[in-house]
Amino acid sequence: MAPRELAASDGDPLTWRVRLRGYSALVGGDRAPGWLVVLLPVGWALWLAAKGWPSPGLLLALVAGGILLRAASRAVDGYFGAVQDALAGRIARFPADAELVDPRLAALLCLVLLLVVASLVLALDPAAQWLGASWTVLALGYILVKRHLYLAQAYVGVLAAWGVPMAFAARLGTVPALGWTLYVAAVFWASACATWRAMAERDDDLLTGAKSLAILLGEVDLIGQGVLYAGAFIALALVGREAGMGVWYWAGLALALVPTALAFRAARQRDPDGCLRALGYNGWIGLAVLAGIVLDFALRAKVVAA
């Protein structure tokens, strides 16, 4: 039985599971690397802002906020972007299993997610509130950017890394120079991650009329990726120097170079599967950096205590 038929079979216990697959795709539930690109920099920022283990409440609030921000941005782009495409006469870029999504419920889901995000942001420091409001405006702008600008993946990087200044603002009430340097690193890294996916979806983007950095770079896309990763690691090195990080931080950065190299190896043929494998390695890059930060502060605290 086809998914559409399953979705239409009221009372069938499988119906809701099949429908949920469509709504999961709408909020990006089928794209695990995207969640890590949003959440891991929040961890980097919180540990650096707190100079050690952050308060559990703040950690939980920002992780929940990051998850909801990501879900809201995907839902808004998936639903309202498809509406805009239809009005403009373009092929709609809607999530997989779109036939399982009720347009009215999709619109309601977008509204609910944005309201929940707004309530979380209002509970934070005023500086974080302003940053949260700015993110919302930028996220809505992405619907236009991805259809009219080739630098859409850089814009994705700006949005995905927004949790970094928010974490500093929520913890310190302001965003110091260290926070903005870390934000630059996260923007470069998230932009590179988004470009791997754009390389995998290049043919689909050309068909639908969407713009991407992969299309702009063409045959020099891997060189462009090298520039983005170099920018991320240089910024992370500046963060380590400015924060006075120790050997474990630098070991984490060195370890992060391994999955970076594996990503380039996986994508060297530029085939969609290879590019998606390259994207998958980025979770290990972010985790290596986070592990270096956490271990550096944890072992430094033990030395001081001794």
Would you write out the chain's pLDDT as a tens digit for each of its 306 residues? 333 333 344 444 446 565 666 666 666 555 656 678 888 999 999 999 999 888 888 888 778 777 777 777 666 666 555 554 544 444 445 444 445 556 666 666 666 776 776 666 666 667 777 777 777 677 767 666 766 778 888 988 998 898 899 889 888 988 999 999 999 999 999 999 999 988 998 887 787 777 889 999 988 999 999 999 999 999 999 999 999 999 999 999 999 999 999 999 999 999 999 999 999 999 999 999 999 999 999 987 665 554
The CA distances from residue 10 to 13, 21, 228, in Å, are: 8, 16, 49
Separation between Cα atoms, residue 227 and residue 221, nearest integer Å: 10
d(CA 267, CA 275): 5
- Between the alpha carbon of residue 46 and those of residues 52, 97, 123, 178, the distances in Å are 8, 37, 17, 12
**Dihedral in degrees, nearest 10, Cα atoms 179, 174, 139, 70:** 70
Tell me what pLDDT residue 103 has: 60
Q: What is the value of pTM for the model shown?
A: 0.78
| Residue 233 and residue 253 in contact, taking contact as beta carbons nearer than 8 Å | yes
For residues 137, 37, 109 and 82, what is the CA-based torsion angle, rounded to 10 degrees? 70
Q: Where are the domains of the chain?
A: 14-305
Q: In this structure, which topology does domain 14-305 adopt according to CATH?
A: Farnesyl Diphosphate Synthase (1.10.600)
The predicted structure's pLDDT at residue 36 = 83
Report how far residue 67's alpha carbon sits from residue 43's, in angstroms, rounded to the nearest whole number: 13
Residue 3 confidence (pLDDT): 36
The whole-number pLDDT of residue 7 equals 39
Task: Please give the backbone phi and psi of residue 265, each rounded to the nearest 5 degrees, phi first.
Answer: -65, -40
Q: Would you give the distance in Å from CA 169 to the centre of its chain?
A: 19
Structural tokens at position 301: 């605290």
